A and B are shown apart, each in its own frame.
Chain A
Amino acid sequence: MKFNSKHIVKFSLAMLLLGGTMTSCTKNFEEYNKNNIGLTDEDLKGDGQDLVLFLRNAQMSIYNFSGAGDPNSYQVQQNLNADVFSGFFMSPTPFNSGQNNLNYAMVNGWNGEPFQVLYLNVIKSIEKLKSNGLAETYPALWGSALVIKVEAASRVTDIYGPIPYSKVGTSNTVPYDKQSDVYAAFFRELDEAVTALKSYKADSPMAAKIDQIDLVFPNTDNQVRFKNWLKIANSLRLRLAMRLVKIDAALAKTQAEKALDPANGGVLESNSENFKITIPADGTYSNPLWFISKNWADTRINATLTSYMTGLNDPRISKYMAPVIKDATTTAFAGKYIGIRTGAEGIEKDKYQKLSALNTEGTTPTFVATTAPVLMTAAEVYFLRAEAALRGWNNAGGTAQSLYEKGVETSFTQWGVTSGLSTYLNDNTSKAAAYEDPFNAKNNAASPSALTIKWNEGATNEEKLERIITQKWLAIFPEGQEAWSEFRRTGYPRLFPVVVNNSGGLIDTKIQIRRLPFPQNEYNTNAAEVQSAISLLGGPDNGGTRLWWDVNKGNF
Chain B
Amino acid sequence: MNNKLYSTLRVLGIVPTMLFSASLLHAQTNQIKGTVVDAKTKAPIPGATIKVLGTSNASSTDVKGAFQINVDDKNRILNISTVGYENKTVTLGPGETTVTVSLDEQTQQLESVVVTALGISRAQKSLTYSTQQVSGDELNKVKSTNLANNLNGKVAGVNIASSSSGPGGSAKVILRGNKSASGNNQVLYVVDGVPINNQTLASQPDNVFGGQRDGGDPISLINPEDIENISVLKGASAAALYGSQAANGVILVTTKSGKQGRTTINFSSSAQIEQAVSTPKFQNQYGQGSGGKNSNTSVFSWGDKTNGANYDNVGEFFRTGSNFTNSLTLSGGNEKNQTYFSYANTLAKGILPENDLMRHNFNLKESASFFDNKLTVEGSANYITQKLDNAPSSGFYYNPLVGTYLLPRSLNIADYKNFETFNTSRNLNEQNWFSLSDSPTTQQNPWWIVNRNPTRSTRNRLLLNGSAKYKVAPWISIQARGSVDRTSEVWDRKVYASTPNPLGKTNGNYNYTNTTITQQYGDVVANMNFNVSDKFQITGLVGTSITDWKTEGVDFNTGIEGLKIPNQFFIQNTTTPVTSTLSANRRQLQSVFASANLAYDNWIYLDLTARNDWSSTLAFTGTKSFFYPSAGLGIVLNDKLNLPEFVNMAKVRGSYAVVGNDLPPYTSLLTNTVNPYAVLTVNDIAFLKTLKPEKTKSFEIGTEWRMWNNRLNVDVTYYKTNTTNQFFKVAASQASLNKQYAINAGDIQNQGVEALVSLDAIRNDDFKWTTSVNFTYNKNKIKKLADAVPEFNLTGENQNNFASKLEVGGSFGDIYGQDFVRDGQGRIIISEDGIPQKTNAYTKLGNSNPIWQMGWNNSFNYKNFNLSFLIDGKFNYEVMSITQSVMDGYGVSAVTGAARANGGVAVNGVTPNGTPVSVVDAEKWYTSTGGIGPVSSQYIYDGTVVRLRELTFGYDFNIKDSFFKKLRVNAVGRNLFYISKKAPFDPEVTMSTGNSLSGVDIFMMPATRNYGLTLNATF
Contact = CB atoms under 8 A, between A and B. Distances in A.
Interface stretch (B152-160, B366-374, B663-671): B663-671
A54 interface: yes
B735 A298 contact: no
B677 A69 contact: yes
B438 A1 contact: no
Given A2-B531, A525-B731, A38 B592 contact: no
Contact of B502 (A15, A127, A173, A295): A295
Interface stretch (A29-37, A383-391, A398-406): A29-37
Interface stretch (A193-201, A348-356, A453-461): A348-356
B297 A123 contact: no
A105 B928 contact: yes
A507 B291 CA distance: 23
Contact of B526 (A14, A168, A329): A14
B2 interface: no
Contacts of B588: 28-29, 32
A211 interface: no
A333 interface: no
B619 A30 contact: yes
B928 A99 contact: yes
- Size range of the interface on A? 35 or more
A329 B502 CA distance: 25
Contacts of A169: 735-737
Interface string B882-898: 00001001100000000
Interface string B565-582: 000000000001010111
B620 A127 contact: no
A108 B619 contact: no
Nearest to A2: B531
A524 B544 contact: no
A224 interface: no
Interface stretch (B9-17, B474-482, B985-993): B474-482
A32 B619 contact: yes
A350 B738 CA distance: 41
B530 A504 contact: no
B1009 interface: no
A426 B673 CA distance: 56
A522 interface: yes
Contact of A295 (B501, B524, B544, B619): B501
B671 A34 contact: yes
Nearest to B593: A18
Contact of B530 (A1, A38, A345): A1
Given A22-B544, A39-B671, A349-B435, A33 B300 contact: no
B932 interface: yes
B933 A96 contact: yes
A336 interface: no
A7 interface: yes
Interface in A2-34: 2-3, 7, 10-11, 14-15, 18-19, 21-22, 24-26, 28-30, 32-34
Contacts of B818: 108
Given A21-B524, A97-B889, A523 B840 contact: yes
A33 B665 contact: yes
Nearest to A173: B733
B619 A29 contact: yes
A10 B476 CA distance: 9
Interface string A85-98: 00000000111111
A315 to B, nearest CB: 32
B683 to A, nearest CB: 8
A3 to B, nearest CB: 4
Contacts of B295: 346, 348, 351
A11 B736 contact: no
A206 to B, nearest CB: 22
A18 B619 contact: no
B801 to A, nearest CB: 6
Interface in A356-398: none
Interface stretch (B56-64, B116-124, B610-618, B960-968): B610-618
B672 A37 contact: no
Contact of A38 (B290, B671, B791, B796): B671
B439 A28 contact: no
Interface in B579-624: 580-584, 586-588, 590, 592, 594, 614-620, 624
B681 interface: yes
Nearest to A526: B733
A11 B528 contact: yes
A143 B688 CA distance: 32
Contact of A296 (B293, B502, B886): B502
A96 B590 contact: no
Interface string A179-218: 0000000000000000000000000000000000000000
Nearest to B798: A109
Nearest to A118: B734
Interface in B710-748: 730-739, 741
Contacts of B478: 14
A97 B931 contact: yes
Contacts of A124: 682, 684, 737
A70 B209 CA distance: 14
Nearest to B830: A504
A361 to B, nearest CB: 14
A25 B588 CA distance: 10
B903 interface: no
Contacts of A168: 735-737
Contact of B672 (A28, A40, A174, A505): A40
A7 B475 contact: yes
A418 interface: no
A90 to B, nearest CB: 14
Contact of A283 (B679, B688, B803): B679
B835 A14 contact: no
B833 A502 contact: yes
A255 interface: no
Contacts of B829: 504
B507 to A, nearest CB: 14
B94 interface: no
Nearest to B621: A33
Given A3-B532, A32-B586, A284-B576, A524 B791 contact: yes
Contacts of A526: 733, 735
B618 A172 contact: no
B291 A345 contact: yes
B530 A3 contact: yes
Nearest to B548: A32
B298 interface: yes
B437 A19 contact: no
A21 to B, nearest CB: 6
B679 A29 contact: no
22 contacts: A3-B530, A18-B544, A22-B590, A29-B614, A30-B669, A33-B617, A33-B620, A34-B671, A39-B674, A95-B439, A96-B931, A116-B739, A124-B737, A128-B682, A172-B732, A174-B735, A284-B578, A297-B439, A504-B835, A517-B840, A523-B840, A524-B791
Interface of B: 290-291, 293, 295, 297-300, 435, 437-440, 473-476, 478, 501-502, 524, 526, 528, 530-533, 538, 542-544, 559-560, 576, 578, 580-584, 586-588, 590, 592, 594, 614-620, 624-625, 665-666, 668-675, 677-682, 684, 688, 730-739, 741, 788-789, 791, 793, 796-801, 803, 805, 818, 829-833, 835-837, 840-842, 886, 889-890, 912, 926-928, 930-933
A-B pairs with lowest CB-CB distance, top 10: A38-B671, A97-B889, A97-B931, A504-B831, A164-B735, A526-B733, A109-B799, A350-B297, A68-B677, A174-B735
Interface of A: 1-3, 7, 10-11, 14-15, 18-19, 21-22, 24-26, 28-30, 32-41, 43-44, 53-54, 57, 66-70, 93-99, 105, 107-110, 112, 115-116, 118-121, 123-125, 127-128, 163-164, 168-174, 282-284, 286, 295-298, 329, 345-346, 348-351, 353, 500-505, 517, 519-526, 529, 541
Given A1-B475, A524-B842, 5 more contacts: A39-B674, A121-B682, A168-B735, A284-B677, A346-B291
